Structure 1
Amino acid sequence: MPIADSFVTFAVREARGVSPTYERLCLAVARDDELLARLEQLPAASRQPNLLLGVTRLLGGPVDDPVAFHDWVLSHWQMVEAQLRTRTTQTNEAGRCAALLPVLAALPQPLALVEVGASAGLCLYPDRYAYRYGEHLVGVGEPLLECAAVGLSPPARRPEVVWRAGLDLTPLDVTDPADVAWLDALIWPEHTHRRARLRAAAAVAATDPPLLLRGDLVDDLPALAAQAPADATLVVFHTSVLYQVPARRRAAFIETVRGLPGHWIANEAPETLPYDGLPRPPDGALHHVLALDGTPLAWTRSHGQSVTWFA
């Protein structure tokens, strides 16, 4: 996809109705020939809209005014470019657990979780968070994850997790202020509720840090999965990760995960992990497909804010 088109797509499908600041800014970048020319010199993975926005916020640049953004990014381009070339989008949104919970709670308990593309591992604690689906509460405590559920009877209880581990090319540490600052920079400007959620989820993880290994989702997954307790149901899962994986490696990962015992939960955009015969999504916004062992179950929003069940 041309770089300008990727910014328009991000503005219309992801930011519209969710972040007016980023919608306005990305539409402006899509018309900014000078900035697009700089981005054209970068590897494809370094041109992602959310990555440029997050890096700018991390470095203290302005994102509330397109003109100020243009001037600041170009005048600080050497610093911005260095970050774009070395960082990846690692949004670690604990709210996604609200989309995963109905599937996790329905599997044979207890569970041993392995998250691929785990970032700081905040989605490895579905048993520690509280949830609200409309008027239905599941569990108590902080953070409280709110999710609009359509066509779904929310679970009565949280899953029992006896072992949790994550795999990432560059795992983050929730006890490291610099790593938490990067997670914060990836949260969109207006989303103060997500910042509070990040702090609460990081506090949960910091009291009982997960096993996070630096490694590849194909080469290193079988060895990590083999460490899971034999008397627990193994669940390998990922949310909004595979779009960063080249197509051949993506196919190799699917073959690898299908060969493991237990279950596989995917929550990815349909363009990234396609399925035959999907119903229409609820609207024109970006929706992910929640699937269990290759069978699609529901449409979800990227931050876990809604689940529309169709299975």
Structure 2
Amino acid sequence: MRPDSLAARYLRFARTEARGRSAIYEILARHVAQSPRVLAFLDRLPPDRQQPNLLFAAMRLVAGTPASPDAFDAAIADQAEAIAGIMRTRTTQTNEPGRCAVLLPALARIEGPLALIEVGASAGLCLLPDAYGYDWGHQTLAPPERFTASAPVLACAATPNTPLPSRHPEIVWRAGLDLNPLDASKDEDVAWLEHLIWPEHHERLARLRKAIAIARSERPRVEAGDLRRDLPDLIAAAPRDATVVVFHTAVLSYVAQQHDRDAFAESMMNDPRVFWLSNESPRVFPRSAAAAGQVHDDMFLLTGNGEPLAWTGPHGQEIRWLW
């Protein structure tokens, strides 16, 4: 990726993702876009290791959270190799359980029982939507009794027309697929997940830790594999008497080629066993975004079998049902 393209990428991140959500990340992203030294550092990394979230999380893991652009530059100067080493070996695997709050209204509309398969599952925290509590502002759903003391309650602002469920869906089987699964029982993997949470997002960090505690006891199955090759075997392993729901959130943007994304979408919609839920940036499936009306670049688009359902906050903080 050319340095000018990298600069544009970081400016877009500052404008559409960090603004209003993380003041320090907005400042740092704009600084990176104007810094020949940092752009040259990024240009030495593989193209799939240059994204803002990966850089900032690696920086914080190695050197702590920089308080200013000057502190950021000092960390790059002093610990460039250590930061680059993290960026080469780790990937952006933000496992945000809060996204379950925007997935649950769609899951509750699908005839069950359900067999969940998450593509890009990371540590599998989003495979446990039936273990969490929910607060949509004008309606709540308490966590199941056995998790009452430990479960996070996920806050999400929902528009009045959102079809909010009054009970958790019946999930009888669940599995995840990830190129590099993380293990909630490993401290080093948990440390990486925690540093992927943005610095000011203290509530997100608290609910992540609660979700990790549940995952350590429930141990959701997450297989190593590629969605383009290994998903059919996982679908075949699901119980025959359950509706298979394949879902993903903030994953397909890492599949670089549009024709690969479209081929994946076609395979999902042509599989008679599968109900497919996608919660991605509107840039991932432009045709679905066009069908949703006005495009919101700072939000994700939730679709069911390719049909637009709702605009959602990237971290599950809000849902705007469309119809």
- Scaled to the shorter chain, the TM-score interval is over 0.9
Partners of 1:224 and 1:57 in 2: CA distance: 35
Identify the match of residue 263 of structure 1 among 275, 299, 306.
275
Identify the match of residue 243 of structure 2 among 211, 233, 237.
233
Amino acid at match of 1:146: A
The equivalent residue for 1:280 is: 294
1:24-35 pair list within 5 angstroms: 24-35=27-38
Q: Per the alignment, in what secondary structure is the counterpart of residue 197 of structure 1?
A: helix
The equivalent residue for 2:314 is: 302
Offset of 1:31 from its aligned partner? 1.0
TM-score, scaled to structure 2: 0.92
Q: Per the alignment, in what secondary structure is the counterpart of residue 217 of structure 1?
A: coil
Partners of 2:65 and 2:218 in 1: CA distance: 36
Q: Per the alignment, in what secondary structure is the counterpart of residue 156 of structure 2?
A: strand
Partners of 2:237 and 2:83 in 1: CA distance: 40
Identify the match of residue 193 of structure 2 among 167, 174, 183.
183
Note if 1:212 corresponds to 2:222.
yes
Partners of 1:56 and 1:41 in 2: CA distance: 16
Partners of 1:131 and 1:102 in 2: CA distance: 11
Partners of 1:85 and 1:53 in 2: CA distance: 13
The equivalent residue for 1:81 is: 84
- Whether contact under 8 Å (1:53, 1:63) holds in the other structure is no
Offset of 1:8 from its aligned partner? 1.1
Aligned length: 309
- Whether contact under 8 Å (2:292, 2:322) holds in the other structure is no
Partners of 1:126 and 1:194 in 2: CA distance: 16
Structure 1 residue runs of 5 or longer lacking an equivalent are none
Offset of 1:262 from its aligned partner? 2.5
Partners of 1:82 and 1:217 in 2: CA distance: 26
**Cα offsets for 1:111-162 (capped at 9, x unmatched):** 1000000000000011110000103111233210000011314211111111
Structure 2 residue runs of 5 or longer lacking an equivalent are none
Identity %: 48
The equivalent residue for 1:104 is: 107
Amino acid at match of 1:294: G
> What RMSD over aligned residues (CA atoms) do the two structures have, in Å?
1.4
1:69-218 pair list within 5 angstroms: 69-140=72-143, 141=148, 142-150=151-159, 151-218=161-228
Partners of 1:227 and 1:8 in 2: CA distance: 43
Offset of 1:81 from its aligned partner? 1.3
Amino acid at match of 1:129: Y
Partners of 1:259 and 1:114 in 2: CA distance: 17
Partners of 1:186 and 1:83 in 2: CA distance: 12
- Whether contact under 8 Å (2:119, 2:246) holds in the other structure is yes
Identify the match of residue 42 of structure 1 among 40, 45, 70.
45
Amino acid at match of 2:292: L
Partners of 1:240 and 1:184 in 2: CA distance: 17
Identify the match of residue 293 of structure 1 among 280, 288, 305.
305
- Whether contact under 8 Å (1:115, 1:238) holds in the other structure is yes
Partners of 1:207 and 1:61 in 2: CA distance: 30
Offset of 1:37 from its aligned partner? 1.2
Partners of 1:54 and 1:273 in 2: CA distance: 27
TM-score, scaled to structure 1: 0.96
Offset of 1:287 from its aligned partner? 0.7
Q: Per the alignment, in what secondary structure is the counterpart of residue 233 of structure 2?
A: helix
Partners of 2:110 and 2:99 in 1: CA distance: 18
More helix per residue: 1 or 2? 2
Amino acid at match of 1:278: A
